[in-house]
Each structure stands twice: as structure tokens, then as C-alpha cells.
Structure 1
Amino acid sequence: MSELTTIARPYAKAAFDFAVEQSAVDKWNEMLKFMSEVVKNENLQLLLTGSLSAQKIADTVILICGEQLDQYGQNFIRLMAENKRLTVLPTVLKLFNHYMEEYQAISEVEVISAQPLSIEQQNKIVEAMEKRLARKVKLDCNVDSALIAGTIIRTNDFVIDASSRGQLQRLANELQL
């Protein structure tokens, strides 16, 4: 996976920098999503790894994408095909999204709770996490009744486990020492 990331990073960075320069970050995000889904297709995977010329592969992908791509998106496909890198488009999309979140200073925070959270509770979590992370927060709320009570809050490598299940697990670990 890290090899794919290493290969995809310069493409994602170049696409992102160009998108920012053109004030078209959302448009590029949509184009990359579409391109990524196209190259994930099993039949197209055979074409990408086959012996066709880079020009024919690029033309085929551009034809499939149709009006979803502007001229710059088409050039991006041609460049990646020329370098035999079209298979890493899903990784390019992930990195592009990461750059986009950094640029927009948004962190996605997952909240797992035993019960559905009220709007007021969600707002309090957003407020607290924005202070803690010093950036805007986008909540992804899920319900897991196995927590018994409380919540688990996750973002990147940061976790707050305030669930009853988590407290019971910590207590069990302490008692076994």
C-alpha cells in the first residue's frame, strides 16, 4: 500500500495544486471520483494491464468518462496512461481528498454512541472537538447498542472512549494485573 501511495502522491499533489489555482477543487474531486470508479472496473483493469499503447488506453478511458471530464481531466488521464499509472487512480483520489481536507481545515470525526445523539449533543461534540483540534469538524454519527451507554469519538489517531463497554474493559484489564 505504501508503494501505491508513493506513486500516487505526486499526481494527487499536482492535481490538487492545479485545482486550487483554477478554483475548481470540488470539480476535480468529482472528476477524480468518477475516474477512480471507471478504472476499478474489472474489464478495464485487464485493458490497463494489457499490451495496448498508452494512447489507446487513454482514449478508451476518456471515451468511457465522456462529459464527466474537462480538457484538464483528459490531459491528466493521458499523462497517467503515458506513465502506466492509471491503476493508482483510487489512491490518487484518497490523497487528493486528504489535501482537500487539509486545505479546508476540516477533520472528519466519527462518533459512535449507544443511543442516537440529539442535535444539541452533536453541537456540543462539534464545539469541543473544534477547540481540541483547532479546525472545523465534520461529524459522522453511528449507533452501536453494544456500547451499553456513552460514546466513542475517533479522528485519525485520536480516540476518546467514554463508553460503558470501554470502562468495563479497562476495569477488567486492571483486575487481571
Structure 2
Amino acid sequence: MTDNVSLVSGVAKRYASALLDLAEETGVTADVERDLGNFEGLLAESSDLDRLVKSPAFSAEEQLNALTALLDKAQISGLAGNFVKLAARNRRLFVLPDMIKAFRVLLAEKRGEETAEVVSAAELSDDQVTALKEALSASSGKSVNISAKVDPALIGGLVVKVGSRMIDTSLRTKLNSLKFAMKEVG
């Protein structure tokens, strides 16, 4: 399993790196970033598109034809559109979400930014996001972007992941630790 994960992440990083290099050479980095974000939004909205991208049941030609029509309709063209089509031709569509994520990570590194993945039990207010952003920027010395998600199973608190560092202040984790400690005693 870990071999598959590292293979996918390796492929995703190579494709993303090549895309970023080409986008910088041609001066269309912002366009590519925007178009990939739009495509990612389409993936999140449509379970059919997600299935098309991830399922090996469709031939490369079927995937390519469907994506070409979708990209035209969504007005995603140029380098980003060609990139998605290349992934389809090379039977790498299943890695496309990871490629987009890797592209964002590499772009943020070039800009001297970091992205913090924040999971909270309830949606964070704008003031909380701003305060968290400032605190993380101060501790890392870099500009930090927040990618926030909500997971009610946390009960309360936050789980913050920046790069390889993770800070878990969730009530779920604290309760699990307490449960484990009580099992050791009793």
C-alpha cells in the first residue's frame, strides 16, 4: 500500500513540477492556477466526473473525449486544459487531484508561502482564521494560507497541519488519551 502511495505522490510531483516549470516559462502561472482551481471545483461538485477521473473502466479515449467537451464548456483551455488532456492520454487521471495539490504546494514554496490544513469541529469565523494565520506566520516566518475543513467528530478544538508538523488540540484526541490512560491504570 505504501508503495502505491509513494508511486502516486512521485508521479503527481513530477507532473506538477513539469507543469509549473512550463507555466513559469510561458508566463501563465496565474491562469494555470485559476483553471486548475476551477477544474478541482468541478471535481468536487460532480460525482460523475469524479468517477470518470478515478475509474479504470473507461478507456483513455472515452476519458479524453468527455474531458475535452467538459473543458470547452467550462472554458478551461491553454496549458491547464492541455495538462488535463495529457493526464487522460497517459492514463494518469486517477492521480490528477494529487497533481493539482502538488502543483499548489510547489507554487507556494516558490512564493515563500506555506499552506496550513486546519480541521475544526465547527466552521471558523473570519477573525479566528485571521488570528490563526497570524500566529502560524509568526511561528514559521513565512506567509501562511489556511485551508479550512470542518469535522464535527473532533467535538471541539483544532487539528493543524503545516508541512510535516501537526498540532492536534481536539477534544476527541484528548478524550482518547484519557481513555487510554484510564485503561492502563485500571
Q: TM-score range by the shorter chain?
A: 0.5 to 0.7
**How many residue pairs are counted as aligned between the two chains?**
170
Structure 2 residue 31 is matched with structure 1 residue 23 = no
- Match of residue 42 from structure 1: 51
Deviations 1:98-156 (A, max 9, x none): 2122223132252637896682x654433331121121123438696933xxx435123
Q: CA deviation at 1:16?
A: 1.3
**3-state SS of 1:26 partner:** helix
Letter aligned with residue 154 of structure 1: V
In the alignment, what sits opposite 2:15? 11
- Residue pair 1:109, 1:137 contacting (<8 A) in 2 also: no
1:125 maps to: 132
Please, which moves more after superposition, 6-15 or 80-89? 80-89
Whole-Å Cα distance in 2 between the matches of residues 83 and 70 of structure 1?
18
TM-fit CA distance, 1:86: 3.3
SS state at 1:84 partner:
coil
2:69 aligned partner? 63
The aligned counterpart of 2:105 is 98
Contact 2:64–2:85 (8 Å) recurs in 1: yes
CA contact (8 A) 1:57 1:81 kept: yes
- The correspondence of residues 69-80 of structure 1 with structure 2, limited to 5 A, is 69-80=76-87
1:42 maps to a residue whose letter is R
Identity across matched positions, percent: 21
Q: Rg larger in 1 or in 2?
A: 1
The Cα shift of 1:46 comes to: 6.5
2:115 aligned residue? 107
Deviates more, 1:132-141 or 1:158-167: 158-167
Give the C-alpha shift of residue 66 in structure 1. 0.5
Unaligned runs of 5+ in 1: none
User: Alpha carbons of 1:115 and 1:81: their partners in 2 closer, same or farther (altered >3 Å)?
Assistant: closer
The two structures, once aligned, show a CA RMSD in angstroms of 4.1
1:152–1:74 Cα change, 3 Å: closer
Which whole-Å CA distance do the structure 2 matches of 1:12 and 1:21 have between them?
14
Q: Which amino acid aligns with 1:110?
A: V
Could you tell me which amino acid in structure 1 is paired with residue 145 of structure 2? Answer: K
Q: TM-score, normalised to structure 2's length?
A: 0.62
TM-score w.r.t. length of structure 1: 0.65
